[in-house]
Amino acid sequence: MTTPLIARRVERTPSATRPAVRADIQALRALAVTLVVVYHLWPTRLPGGFVGVDVFLVISGFLITSHLLRRPPRTGRDLASFWARRIRRLLPASLLVLTTTLVVSRLVAPETQWENTARQTAAAALYVVNWRLAADSVDYLAAENAPTPVQHFWSLSVEEQFYAGWPVLVLLLVLLAGLGARRALRAGGPGQPVPERRLGLVVPLGLGAVVLASLVLSIRATASEPASAYFITPTRIWELGIGGLLAAWLAWRGREGVTRHGPTATVLGWLGLAVIVWTGFAYSGAVPFPGWRAALPVLGAAAVIAANAPARLPSPTRVLGVRPVQWLGDVSYSVYLWHWPLIVLVPYATTGGRGLVDDAGIVLLTLALAPATKRFVEDRFRFPRAGTPLRRPYLYAAAGMAVVVGLAGLQIAEVHHREAQARAALDKATTSGDPCLGAAALDDPTACPRTTAAPVVPAPAEAAKDKSDAYPEVSGGKDCWSYQPRFRVITCTFGDPHGTVDVALLGNSHAGQWLPALEVLARQRGWRITTYLASRCASSDVDQRFDTPAKVRRCRAWGRDAVRQIADRHYDLVVVSNRISLPADGLSGSRSVAAYRDGDVTMLRRLHASGAAVVAIRDTPAPLRSVPDCLAENPKDFTVCSGPRSRWRSDDPVAEAAEQVPGVVTADLDDHICGPRTCDAAVGGVVVYFDETHLTATYSRTLAPYLGSVLARALPGGGGPT
């Protein structure tokens, strides 16, 4: 029996043969990780610190391409050897951090975070978490989820995907470089460097074409969908590619690794550093990124690498070549791995949020864990003994990934088991006939005790998923939402398909939260409900401040199209509600509220003119913090999650507009959600919100009698039997 090809290969690089370390690149690493850590700890102090990731990408692209061109791959065996070295360099530390983070999260984080953390951990172990984050970023409700402690692995996923494809590209380009390069490869023999000049222009031109294509895609994707463009690999390849292109250009000119002397190199090095630091302070989360704006930190990093200034004053290499900076650059990978899980998990462990002492502790613990990880994990696996079978790192990688994915799967299974128990408890509570269940508890507070501790229904982890049937995860795939960027009008039908009263539900997600209550009424009164719902986009006739002009136009067009369709179909009743999650485009404060109010007046007049009874539901009070998370963190004292009614209640242009349109009825149900002065996160044993602002489907159903009385007054004849 023959041994597989990969099994016969062995590592040929002895541990003593280690690549030279450039002080300027180590300083760049130190700067990059400092920018990222400071940004994550104190984002208002360094609002553009996220550009540190872009600096890392350029460094990785440069070093990997330099290595590939110094010893160009000729066969699949060479690629396998290259990937084995990447596995040894990156996976041991990353899998250690993922495993530790998953276990600690289970111990200290609220149960509402367990499933999302487990899913992202599994994706991070497989180096595809950036795609999961990209999908979540365009999901309005998923985007509001608390960040997981492994979210920072998105950039490592991009790099690993780059490492998978870039060497193949280099191999193909080397093979296309011409007869002269191939003769040089054969004459050099195994392990001999290839004269870079003999590779000609093919490699730089080929890499340049990929860089250009990725840059164009990045600019277009950032302009159309910046949230997902930030994470996906095609929009980031050009940043790694700039480093690779620089390496190819230097190799072609025979200047790779050559230190440049004179004032030009010094000025170029300082200029590159200055550009990076400037973007760290000048950029912010409001800047569409990456796109062309990423070119500044990317080119700044490339300038420092290209300068390769001498280690003498006033060169940046000399100034930043001091031991503390070089040490930080040396452990920067482990610093990056550890800092974010600590930032996310420490507040759960201390149960008091993050203060200055906590932040200092996070920094110190990161700087303690990083060198230990570097010494005992990174270096331990990075340089194998000569003769080590090439298959070994692949087997270790597969086993390590399987462990992490398996642990994540167990965590998800536990969550699902708990949810099944929670659903059983919910079914029992909702069929018990308890007169104090949910909103009814506020009818007579003296008879119904205040809910101040667990248990509640749904349980916090289940409450986070307790949404209306308009969501596909609830209805089994029936998605009733219009999404950005296109905002097409989408309708769904609920209730009695043969109902004698046709009801339209119009608005964004705060209209959708009333669907469970309307479904209760539809069963009782024979109503047919048609939904016109959009994610985040309010139905007001006003431009709303989305992150691209196209979304601004399409959102307003969706509102107009939905109103026109409703008017053309002559519904008996139209129920409208919206939450203003975005200011009016170009406006803020009271001017934005006034613009929404004027747009709502226009909308309500059109609906009323169609002959339908129109009811505007005043938007519900909003705690603006995750209620399920808070309840899970404080099971013995729910009052921590309560808040003043005056602060939770906000301006509602729809309700104000309804007062200006004769015939339109306003439904204000706040008295059935909050007490006279205080709003609680759980009322009558029921969790009120499934996130920061939206009612749970269970609590919405308990509001059906109160909503029904308002709708009955608006409809001729009361809208059917009660």
User: What is the predicted pLDDT for the residue at 319?
Assistant: 86
Q: In the structure, what pLDDT confidence band is assigned to residue 185 with cuts at 50, 70 and 90?
A: very low
Enumerate long-range contacts of 88-91, CB under 8 Å, 24 or more apart: 88/381, 88/382, 88/383, 88/384, 88/393, 89/378, 89/382, 90/156, 90/160, 90/333, 91/393, 91/396, 91/397, 91/400, 91/401
Per-residue tokens: 499: 């109902």
Distance, in Å, from the CA atom of 511 to the CA atom of 13, rounded to the nearest integer, reads 64
Given its phi and psi angles, is residue 34 left (phi above 0), alpha (psi -120 to 50 degrees) or beta? Answer: alpha
Residue with more model confidence, 417 or 72: 417
Do residues 158 and 235 touch, judged by C-beta distance below 8 A? no
My answer on whether omega of the bond before 705 falls inside 30° of 0, hence cis, is: no
Is the alpha carbon torsion for 91, 93, 96, 102 positive or negative? Answer: negative
Beta bridge partners of 494: 529
Per-residue tokens: 556: 């307003």
- Beta-carbon contacts of residue 130 (< 8 Å; ≥ 6 apart): 154, 155, 157, 158, 231, 232, 233
Give φ, ψ of 573 to 5 degrees.
-140, 135
> Quick one: which of 144, 146, 148, 140 has its CA closest to 123?
148
Distances (CA, A) of 174 to 63, 189, 197: 17, 16, 12
CB-based burial label for 721 (10 Å; 0-12, 13-18, 19+): exposed
DSSP string computed for 216-271: HHHHHHHHH-HHHHTT-STTTHHHHHHHHHHHHHHHHHT-TTPPP-SHHHHHHHHH
Residue with more model confidence, 134 or 318: 134
Domain boundaries, the chain: 5-13+59-259+357-409, 432-719
CB-based burial label for 534 (10 Å; 0-12, 13-18, 19+): buried
User: What is the predicted pLDDT for the residue at 72?
Assistant: 79
Per-residue tokens: 506: 């119009």
Please determine, for residue 190, whether its predicted confidence score (pLDDT) is greater than 70.
Answer: no
Per-residue tokens: 94: 């990353």
Please determine, for residue 14, whether its predicted confidence score (pLDDT) is greater than 90.
Answer: no
Do residues 477 and 718 touch, judged by C-beta distance below 8 A? no
Q: In the structure, what pLDDT confidence band is assigned to residue 196 with cuts at 50, 70 and 90?
A: very low
Q: Supply the DSSP symbol for 493.
A: E
- Strand ranges in 415-547 using DSSP code E only, listed in sequence order: 481-482, 491-495, 501-507, 527-534
Helix (H) or strand (E) holding 629: helix 627-633
Helix (H) or strand (E) holding 517: helix 515-525
Is the alpha carbon torsion for 223, 302, 231, 217 positive or negative? Answer: positive
Summarised one tens digit per residue, pLDDT across range 321-360 is 899 999 999 999 999 999 999 999 999 988 767 888 999 9
Distance, in Å, from the CA atom of 34 to the CA atom of 76, rounded to the nearest integer, reads 38
Per-residue tokens: 172: 């193909």
Instruction: Name the pTM for this structure.
Output: 0.89
Residue tagged 């939905």 (tokens):
562
User: What is the predicted pLDDT for the residue at 9?
Assistant: 39
Please determine, for residue 666, whether its predicted confidence score (pLDDT) is greater than 50.
Answer: yes
Give the CATH H-level superfamily of domain 432-719.
SGNH hydrolase (3.40.50.1110)
Summarised one tens digit per residue, pLDDT across range 525-582 is 999 999 999 999 999 999 999 989 999 999 999 999 999 999 999 999 999 999 998 9
User: What is the predicted pLDDT for the residue at 172?
Assistant: 87
CB-based burial label for 235 (10 Å; 0-12, 13-18, 19+): buried
Q: Supply the DSSP symbol for 22.
A: P
Q: In the structure, what pLDDT confidence band is assigned to residue 256 with cuts at 50, 70 and 90?
A: low
Residue with more model confidence, 389 or 613: 613
Given its phi and psi angles, is residue 508 left (phi above 0), alpha (psi -120 to 50 degrees) or beta? Answer: beta
Mean pLDDT of all residues belonging to the chain: 90
User: What is the predicted pLDDT for the residue at 636?
Assistant: 94
Please determine, for residue 288, whether its predicted confidence score (pLDDT) is greater than 80.
Answer: yes
